[in-house]
Structure 1
Amino acid sequence: MTSSPAVPADEPIRALEAASELLKALASPVRLGIVRELAEGEKYVHELVTALGVSQPLVSQHLRVLRNSRIVTTRRQAREIRYRLTDDHIAHIVLDAIRHAQE
């Protein structure tokens, strides 16, 4: 087993709380799936619905949580909205967690 770097004892509690909020926002199979899909690039809601095999209202509900947590951002293109990850680090966290769970 490989060891991971320890959190310094003097780490500000705000940073730990922010990390906790990030992990809470990701704590859903649908949200993890959305992040996994967006790791490949921007997507429309209907593309996420197709890829995840869940309803459009459910995807929209989870996208709202991810937007409120600043994990995803939007870009309007004509009448539709494209979603993308705010930060590639989120994709690494999620993809590493999925790989770890498959081991």
Structure 2
Amino acid sequence: MEASARPDSTAPDLLTASELLRALASPVRLGIVRELASGAKRVHELVAALGVNQPLVSQHLRVLRTSRIVAARRDAREVEYTLVDDHVAHIVLDAIRHSQE
């Protein structure tokens, strides 16, 4: 089927996909997703891995949470972050690999 022959029902899917990509459109957010691809992390672990300050990591985590890319779980005094869906990790890791070619 040609792209122009596709039904309009794909428009909401394209909008959702573009919102996902917009939420990922930051080197820090890509780094956060890359780090979370290997498992749950706390903010201080993300700060150390990414080499940026805690307020900046928290700000980007807020964007990723709002976009439902990451989820937060309180563990005593700290919050642990995980990816909601492993598909996002594949998108980010593939994009990073592609940029290295």
TM class, shorter-chain normalised? over 0.9
Corresponding residue number in structure 2 for 1:90: 88
What is the distance in 1 between the residues matched to 2:6 and 2:94? 25
Q: Where do residues 66-85 of structure 1 align in structure 2 (5 Å cutoff)?
A: 66-85=64-83
Q: Which residue of 2 aligns with 1:9?
A: 6
SS of 1:83's equivalent? strand
Question: TM-score, structure 2 length as denominator?
Answer: 0.93
Give the deviation of 1:9 after TM superposition. Answer: 1.6
Deviation at 1:12, TM superposition (A): 2.1
Q: CA RMSD in A?
A: 1.5
Paired-residue identity, %: 73
- Going by fraction, where is helix more abundant, 1 or 2? 2
Tell me, what secondary structure is at the counterpart of 1:41? Answer: coil
* Alignment coverage as a number of residue pairs: 98
TM-score w.r.t. length of structure 1: 0.91
Unaligned residue ranges in structure 2 (runs of 5+): none
Correspondence list, 1:1-103, <5 A: 9-10=6-7, 11-103=9-101
Query: Gaps (5+ residues) in structure 1?
Result: 1-5
Runs of 4+ in 1 over 6 A off after TM superposition: none
